[in-house]
Amino acid sequence: MFIGTSYPKLDDKYRLILPAKFRDRLAGGVVLTKGQENCLVLLTRAEFESRAEALTANVTIGSQEHRTLIRHFFYDADEQTPDGQGRILVTSGLREWAGLTRDLVVAGVGKHIEIWNPEKHSAFMIAGADAYANYSEGEVKLN
Protein backbone atom coordinates (compact mmCIF):
# COMPACT_ATOMS: atom_id res chain seq x y z
CA MET A 1 0.00 0.00 0.00
CA PHE A 2 1.23 3.47 -0.85
CA ILE A 3 0.51 6.22 1.69
CA GLY A 4 1.83 9.67 2.51
CA THR A 5 2.74 12.79 0.56
CA SER A 6 6.05 14.27 -0.57
CA TYR A 7 7.01 17.39 -2.50
CA PRO A 8 9.86 16.59 -4.91
CA LYS A 9 10.95 18.53 -7.97
CA LEU A 10 11.52 17.42 -11.55
CA ASP A 11 15.17 17.69 -12.54
CA ASP A 12 16.40 19.45 -15.69
CA LYS A 13 15.82 16.28 -17.75
CA TYR A 14 12.21 15.96 -16.50
CA ARG A 15 13.00 13.04 -14.21
CA LEU A 16 11.26 12.45 -10.92
CA ILE A 17 13.22 10.96 -8.04
CA LEU A 18 10.72 8.60 -6.47
CA PRO A 19 10.24 8.98 -2.71
CA ALA A 20 12.60 6.61 -0.92
CA LYS A 21 9.77 4.89 0.96
CA PHE A 22 8.21 3.77 -2.36
CA ARG A 23 11.33 2.71 -4.27
CA ASP A 24 11.59 -0.93 -3.20
CA ARG A 25 8.02 -1.65 -4.29
CA LEU A 26 8.57 0.10 -7.63
CA ALA A 27 12.02 -1.28 -8.49
CA GLY A 28 10.55 -4.06 -10.66
CA GLY A 29 8.98 -1.59 -13.04
CA VAL A 30 6.22 0.98 -13.22
CA VAL A 31 3.67 2.42 -15.60
CA LEU A 32 2.97 6.13 -15.55
CA THR A 33 -0.31 7.22 -17.13
CA LYS A 34 -3.05 9.84 -17.08
CA GLY A 35 -5.26 9.98 -14.02
CA GLN A 36 -8.55 11.65 -13.28
CA GLU A 37 -8.70 15.34 -12.32
CA ASN A 38 -5.62 15.85 -14.53
CA CYS A 39 -3.11 14.22 -12.23
CA LEU A 40 -0.76 11.39 -13.22
CA VAL A 41 -1.04 7.87 -11.86
CA LEU A 42 2.01 5.73 -11.15
CA LEU A 43 1.29 2.00 -10.87
CA THR A 44 3.32 -1.13 -10.46
CA ARG A 45 3.30 -3.19 -13.64
CA ALA A 46 1.08 -5.77 -11.96
CA GLU A 47 -1.47 -3.15 -10.87
CA PHE A 48 -1.47 -1.56 -14.33
CA GLU A 49 -2.15 -4.97 -15.90
CA SER A 50 -4.96 -5.61 -13.42
CA ARG A 51 -6.63 -2.28 -14.20
CA ALA A 52 -6.07 -2.73 -17.94
CA GLU A 53 -7.76 -6.12 -17.78
CA ALA A 54 -10.71 -4.68 -15.87
CA LEU A 55 -11.10 -1.87 -18.44
CA THR A 56 -10.95 -4.13 -21.47
CA ALA A 57 -12.56 -7.37 -20.24
CA ASN A 58 -15.48 -8.53 -22.35
CA VAL A 59 -15.51 -5.32 -24.41
CA THR A 60 -15.46 -5.55 -28.16
CA ILE A 61 -16.48 -2.05 -29.18
CA GLY A 62 -18.24 -0.53 -26.16
CA SER A 63 -19.67 2.94 -25.94
CA GLN A 64 -17.87 6.02 -27.18
CA GLU A 65 -17.37 7.05 -23.56
CA HIS A 66 -15.70 3.71 -22.78
CA ARG A 67 -13.46 3.91 -25.86
CA THR A 68 -12.39 7.41 -24.83
CA LEU A 69 -11.57 6.19 -21.32
CA ILE A 70 -9.49 3.33 -22.70
CA ARG A 71 -7.64 5.64 -25.11
CA HIS A 72 -6.69 8.10 -22.40
CA PHE A 73 -5.56 5.29 -20.10
CA PHE A 74 -3.32 3.62 -22.70
CA TYR A 75 -2.18 6.23 -25.26
CA ASP A 76 0.33 8.15 -23.15
CA ALA A 77 1.06 5.32 -20.71
CA ASP A 78 4.79 4.92 -20.26
CA GLU A 79 6.36 1.72 -18.94
CA GLN A 80 9.70 2.21 -17.20
CA THR A 81 12.12 0.72 -14.74
CA PRO A 82 13.45 3.25 -12.22
CA ASP A 83 17.18 3.83 -12.59
CA GLY A 84 19.74 3.18 -9.83
CA GLN A 85 18.87 6.49 -8.18
CA GLY A 86 15.12 5.76 -8.23
CA ARG A 87 14.37 8.16 -11.08
CA ILE A 88 11.73 7.92 -13.78
CA LEU A 89 11.15 10.17 -16.78
CA VAL A 90 7.92 12.16 -17.00
CA THR A 91 7.22 12.49 -20.73
CA SER A 92 6.08 15.74 -22.31
CA GLY A 93 2.56 14.46 -23.05
CA LEU A 94 2.04 13.44 -19.43
CA ARG A 95 3.56 16.69 -18.12
CA GLU A 96 1.18 18.64 -20.34
CA TRP A 97 -1.87 16.59 -19.22
CA ALA A 98 -1.12 17.28 -15.55
CA GLY A 99 0.14 20.83 -15.98
CA LEU A 100 3.43 19.91 -14.35
CA THR A 101 6.37 22.25 -14.06
CA ARG A 102 9.27 21.79 -11.67
CA ASP A 103 7.45 21.49 -8.34
CA LEU A 104 5.31 18.40 -7.70
CA VAL A 105 3.08 16.74 -5.15
CA VAL A 106 3.54 12.95 -4.98
CA ALA A 107 0.88 11.19 -2.91
CA GLY A 108 0.37 7.55 -2.05
CA VAL A 109 -3.26 6.59 -2.65
CA GLY A 110 -3.49 2.94 -1.65
CA LYS A 111 -2.75 0.81 -4.71
CA HIS A 112 -1.24 3.66 -6.74
CA ILE A 113 0.65 6.94 -6.49
CA GLU A 114 -0.64 10.26 -7.82
CA ILE A 115 1.58 13.02 -9.18
CA TRP A 116 0.08 16.51 -9.15
CA ASN A 117 0.71 20.11 -10.02
CA PRO A 118 0.81 21.67 -6.51
CA GLU A 119 -1.82 24.35 -7.24
CA LYS A 120 -4.24 21.83 -8.77
CA HIS A 121 -3.68 19.46 -5.85
CA SER A 122 -4.36 22.15 -3.27
CA ALA A 123 -7.55 23.27 -5.03
CA PHE A 124 -8.74 19.68 -5.36
CA MET A 125 -8.10 18.89 -1.69
CA ILE A 126 -9.80 22.09 -0.50
CA ALA A 127 -12.83 21.41 -2.71
CA GLY A 128 -13.28 17.94 -1.20
CA ALA A 129 -12.45 18.77 2.43
CA ASP A 130 -16.02 19.37 3.63
CA ALA A 131 -17.32 16.23 1.93
CA TYR A 132 -14.56 14.18 3.57
CA ALA A 133 -15.05 15.80 6.99
CA ASN A 134 -18.76 15.04 6.86
CA TYR A 135 -18.53 11.58 5.30
CA SER A 136 -20.83 9.05 6.88
CA GLU A 137 -20.25 5.32 6.51
CA GLY A 138 -22.47 3.91 3.80
CA GLU A 139 -22.56 7.14 1.85
CA VAL A 140 -20.30 7.54 -1.15
CA LYS A 141 -20.65 11.24 -1.96
CA LEU A 142 -17.08 12.51 -1.83
CA ASN A 143 -17.33 14.64 -4.95
pLDDT digits (tens, 9 = 90+) for 64-88: 888 899 999 999 999 999 999 999 9
CATH number at residue 59: 3.40.1550.20
How far separated are the first and last CA of the chain, in Å rounded?
23
What is the reported pTM? Answer: 0.90
Distance CA 128, CA 143 (A): 6
84-100: average pLDDT: 97
Looking at the predicted structure, is the pLDDT value of residue 2 above 90? yes
Residue 36 lies in a domain: yes
Q: What are phi and psi of 72, to 5 degrees?
A: -65, -35
According to the model, what pLDDT value does residue 140 have?
A: 58
Tell me whether residue 55 is in a domain: yes
* Domain total in the chain: 1
Q: Which domain holds residue 84?
A: 2-117
Q: What is the mean pLDDT of residues 45-58?
A: 92
pLDDT of residue 15: 98
pLDDT at 131 over 80: yes
The closest of 26, 50, 41 to 94, measured between CA atoms, is 41
Instruction: Give the confidence band of 138 by pLDDT, cuts at 50, 70, 90.
Output: low
